[in-house]
């Protein structure tokens, strides 16, 4: 299946179809296809953090529609059965086991929130079903807790910490504070950045760490505590409503005056709702510059996504699209749908998404997709991600021996 296969879309079929809110669109295969569908399970936190998970779902739905419009795979349509994990590992496990038992599903994707993804991965390990994680940032997923049946699309905490620290090492301030939600990914991303920055600058002093409850930040108290710490730079791993509240209070109370700020996700469109010209300017961040990637494949993806959903794609849109299309490509390479056959195909073939060709690393089954580092800004009164530079996905990881040693320590 060549690269263009997934970008040759029945444009008028997709763009002229009756539009409906995402929750009203059936995941099932079109009725006119009579072959038994290939079922893929999707477990993600859809009732919370919808600014991230809604575009992710729109991304994989677009890939699903393109796949079925082009005849499916192995002569069969593809069907995705999606379940809401509600941000709760227990709910995720229950939903996944139900899909395994009732629907006989053996191929899964999804995630969002690292502790949820870890729980889904444990079920995949026990049941020997395949799980392609979409939004699960903690490096623990593939390192300490890695196994044969878990793969990942998103660039992880270690990689993103390294690429941010590469630029942050030039920040003149030595006194650093951190703020992140008190859950798995919050700790993983803070640890990843601190380790990476210390590797590049041995004069750093970490003066404080603040751990607000996820989705329940007391922004005023957090900002006041940070001001009392007198840092010269801050690493912020907040997103969604927590980030909005923190930026608002920080601006009002003067926290960001004459201080350098690094924030992992401010370059994500998912965080821009309601900001307009209040977007901070000059923060070091990562993101997805969907309007400035100039390749025919990516332009086609953006055009089709806009035609289908009437908005620009986000990082989540790209992740969701990549996850579903990668599973379809792997099934096609395998010629079968059994988890072991698809797993072997994932490890032995190259894949494509709208940005690049990539593969999965043998040592940890991480996709070699890279990501962009740049600055937050404002363009025509609207939030923008500027000065974006792409960081290649297989250049910022530790040695294979180090990764394997983490698995050995856990297994003892």
Lowest mean pLDDT among 20-29, 123-132, 260-269, 350-359: 20-29
pLDDT confidence bin for 411, thresholds 50/70/90: low
Q: With contact defined as beta carbons under 8 Å apart, do 67 and 80 qualify?
A: no
Q: Taking the model in full, what pTM does it have?
A: 0.90
Q: What is the distance between the alpha carbons of residues 288 and 282, in angstroms, rounded to a whole number?
A: 16
Question: Model confidence at 86, in pLDDT bands (50, 70, 90)?
Answer: very high
| Residue 94 exposed, middle or buried by CB count within 10 Å (0-12, 13-18, 19+) | middle
Domains and CATH numbers, the chain: 3-156+293-369 (3.40.50.2300), 158-291+372-411 (3.40.50.2300)
Retrieve residue 35's tokens: 């072959």
Tokens describing residue 141: 């997923």
* Pairing assessment for the beta strands 175-179 and 205-210 based on DSSP bridges: parallel
- Judge contact between 1 and 70, C-beta under 8 A: no
pLDDT per residue over 165-216, tens digit each?
999 999 999 999 999 999 999 999 999 999 999 999 999 999 999 999 999 9
- Roughly how many angstroms between the first and final C-alpha of the chain, as a whole number? 42
Q: What is the pLDDT of residue 30?
A: 45
Residue 306, pLDDT score: 98
Q: Looking at the DSSP assignment, which residues form a beta bridge with residue 42?
A: 82, 109
Residue range 139-155, pLDDT digits in tens: 999 999 999 999 999 99
Question: Which stretch of 3-7, 14-18, 168-172, 278-282 has the lowest confidence by average pLDDT?
Answer: 14-18
Structure tokens at 217: 């930040």
The pLDDT value recorded for residue 27 is 52
Mean of per-residue pLDDT scores for the chain: 92
Surface-to-core class of residue 349, CB atoms within 10 Å of its CB (0-12 exposed, 13-18 middle, 19+ buried): middle
Please give the pLDDT value at position 8. Answer: 40
Token digits for 41?
Answer: 């399970």
Q: Read off the pLDDT of each residue in 29-39 and give the average, rounded to a whole number.
A: 68
């Amino acid at each position: 299946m060549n690269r263009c296969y997934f970008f040759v879309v029945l444009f008028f079929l997709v763009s002229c179809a009756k539009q409906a809110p995402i929750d009203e669109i059936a995941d099932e295969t079109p009725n006119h296809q009579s072959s038994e569908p290939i079922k893929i399970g999707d477990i993600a936190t859809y009732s919370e953090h919808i600014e991230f998970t809604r575009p992710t779902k729109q991304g994989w739905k677009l890939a699903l529609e393109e796949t079925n419009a082009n005849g499916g795979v192995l002569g069969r349509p593809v069907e995705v059965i999606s379940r809401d994990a509600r941000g709760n590992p227990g709910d995720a496990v229950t939903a996944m086991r139900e899909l395994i038992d009732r629907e006989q599903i053996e191929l899964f994707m999804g995630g969002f929130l690292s502790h949820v993804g870890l729980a889904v991965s444990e079920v995949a390990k026990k049941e020997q079903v395949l799980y392609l994680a979409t939004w699960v940032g903690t490096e623990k997923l593939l390192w300490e807790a890695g196994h044969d049946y878990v793969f990942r699309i998103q660039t992880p905490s270690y990689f993103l910490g390294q690429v941010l620290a590469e630029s942050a090492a030039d920040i003149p301030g030595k006194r650093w504070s951190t703020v992140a939600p008190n859950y798995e990914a919050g700790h993983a991303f803070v640890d990843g950045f601190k380790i990476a920055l210390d590797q590049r600058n041995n004069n750093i002093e970490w003066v404080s760490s603040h751990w607000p409850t996820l989705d329940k930040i007391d922004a005023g108290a957090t900002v006041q505590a940070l001001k009392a710490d007198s840092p010269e730079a801050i690493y912020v791993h907040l997103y969604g409503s927590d980030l909005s509240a923190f930026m608002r209070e920080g601006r009002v109370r003067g926290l960001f005056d004459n201080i350098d700020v690094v924030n992992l996700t401010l370059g994500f469109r998912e965080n821009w709702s309601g900001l307009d010209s209040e977007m901070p300017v000059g923060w070091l961040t990562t993101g997805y510059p969907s309007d400035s990637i100039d390749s025919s494949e990516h332009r086609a993806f953006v055009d089709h996504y806009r035609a289908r959903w009437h908005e620009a794609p986000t990082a989540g849109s790209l992740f969701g699209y990549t996850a579903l299309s990668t599973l379809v490509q792997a099934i096609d390479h395998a010629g079968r749908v059994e988890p072991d056959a698809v797993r072997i195909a994932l490890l032995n073939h190259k894949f494509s998404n709208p940005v690049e060709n990539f593969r999965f690393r043998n040592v940890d089954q991480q996709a070699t997709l890279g990501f962009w580092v740049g600055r937050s800004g404002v363009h025509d009164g609207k939030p923008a991600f500027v000065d974006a530079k792409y960081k290649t996905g297989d250049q910022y990881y530790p040695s294979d021996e180090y990764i394997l040693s983490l698995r050995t320590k856990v297994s003892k």
